[in-house]
Structure 1
Amino acid sequence: MTYEETSAKQRTERFGMSHLSIEVGHLYADDLARPDTLKAEMASAAAWVHGTTEALSKRLGGRRPRVSTCYLVDDYSQQGMPPPEELIAVITEAAADAGLRIDYLARESACATMGPLQLAGLVADRIVFEPPPGANGSRPTVARSGWLCNGVPSPKAKGVAMVGQADQWRPPSQNAKRDHSVFLDVELWSDTAEGRRWSCPMLAAVWQLLRLGVLRNQGRRIGVPEAVAEVVPDEHGHDPDRPARARFPETWEAMPPILQLEPAAYPFPAYRTVSILSVNYLEVEHAVRVICGSVRPEASAIEIIRKSAEREGMVLPEELVDRLSYIFQGPL
């Protein structure tokens, strides 16, 4: 493994990148109660994966693109999730029936905490929000409030309007709007008696940044997948107390953050991402784009990826959010 020195004390890790990371699904526990729908979603995703890969090959001048696929399991907000052995079998069998290969499977809870690393907190600390013209300083900072917006919200009314006097209401305004505003205010977290609870958009933003390979902890890569053989090495056999066919730990907490299901898969991180999702996630991903557009990762990590892409004849958008693409599907 090679590194690039960015300071006397810190080096930024290099690693292989795919051209494209395709997310083929995001599973909630209640999806398992609809096996026919899950199969239909996999079949539809397979068609999009094949079409997207073919289109990318043409953009690369006929070269075979490096494309990896991934699947996200929501073990953060969902209760009663089946054990890994059962759930992985359901997902991989549905994918295989559709002619689709899933290279990586990730836990959403790992986007909050990955081992000893408070990952969502690390990303939140890298959010840079510059108040646009018109802001009056009355809104608390993102670090204090846990809210991030894409413009200037409506100002609070001052005092009580006199009888017969109209309230001087002003609408919110979006940054870089096109004629009209689409204003969005995103809740990143809430503080509860049990501790900080991260929102779905915040965790989904961490997930996208992991897939882009831009997150570092003091220069070191975050989110290195673990192969199945590393989780349950074949030569070690099985725990005699487990069912005979069980290969994986019994709880999701014991699973690696990112599991590499296919030994020959292309790298997990990629220059660009595509997410094939239900249309129900459209609002969440709008919020994700607001968050990702405000995160400033380590500059050395961004530069290494940019140069790597250029060596392959690819020019990446300057803004990270412009490297994210989506395919939203209606009810199947």
Structure 2
Amino acid sequence: MWEVEGALIVQAISKIVKSTLTKFYPEMNHPIFRWQWVKSAAATYGDPDQIWHTSIQVNVSAIGADQVQAIKGKGKAHIDRNDMPYALSLILFLSHAPENFYHGRFVSYGVKAACECAPYGSLLLMSKLPHGCTGYGYYDPELPQQMRYNYPPGLIIPVVPKEYGFGRIVAVSYGRNTCYKSNINIPNPDLLTDAALPVLGSYRAMYEYRIRYQMTKRDKDDTTTAEEWSEKFSWMENGRKETPKMEIATIALEENPVYEKMMTAMKEMFLDAGCGMMMPGDGPKPKTGRRGGLLGEVKIRCHRINVNKKQCAIPLYVRRWGNTFCKRHQG
């Protein structure tokens, strides 16, 4: 049952992501993003034309929970280290609370802007800019209604069944670094099986992920044509034979050095506009030795050579004669 319901939920959110991004951030329609989606074998979900987001994260906490204890209720400025810099995140506010509860504000400190976290609202976020939620809680009973948050006139709000309990719920759809670079990182093996259907959301999304992933792993001397690749990853659905879109195999077989330079420049631009890959002061903390002294550490790159013949780019801090591989490549 969950497989069917899960796929429907994933498809619904992916449609919201696609329509919101393309309407309010039309630059995401540029062909370079489809090129990157193919070349990096991004494990995107849901609608086959949703080529930006790979992951959905649902944050849940109790109404009135302390910010320190509540999941993701940090109440302080932070950035999302694991997000792709240029793929704007979409946040959906889905909380259910009593009428006298204020849902707080979402603040983007980098652009000095804030918005209400009222249920059924949403926002697009550049996650490399410092941001956070703050200010939620119960209204003072004496606070007049006109000073409380009120929905815009004429807005129709869904009625939540009474049997559903109260809770703070925020769904975040975003592009995760590791999932957006399946050509370099080792994906969950289940993504390449039919078990991925509830996650990827549709047969087309599932098979188009498979062809993109396998084409990034092809031998450099491979002579298989785009038509042959598409035929190889065909499937039957509702009694009809379906094949991946031909442009996927075509893009995968072509080199585009101009787009490569543009994508590198775009990533650096977004990082420069924000805080880079981490907030100031959030760097690794020095560890204390057995006798209380600080251990001498140096920053190096992981020594693992990837399948593309390049050294792993993940940095790590090590001691002299210590481990020289990142967590992913240890062992």
Tell me the TM-score normalized by structure 1.
Answer: 0.24
Higher share in strand: 1
Greater RCO (CA < 8 Å, at least 6 residues apart) = 1
Tell me the TM-score normalized by structure 2.
Answer: 0.24
Larger-gyration structure (1/2): 2
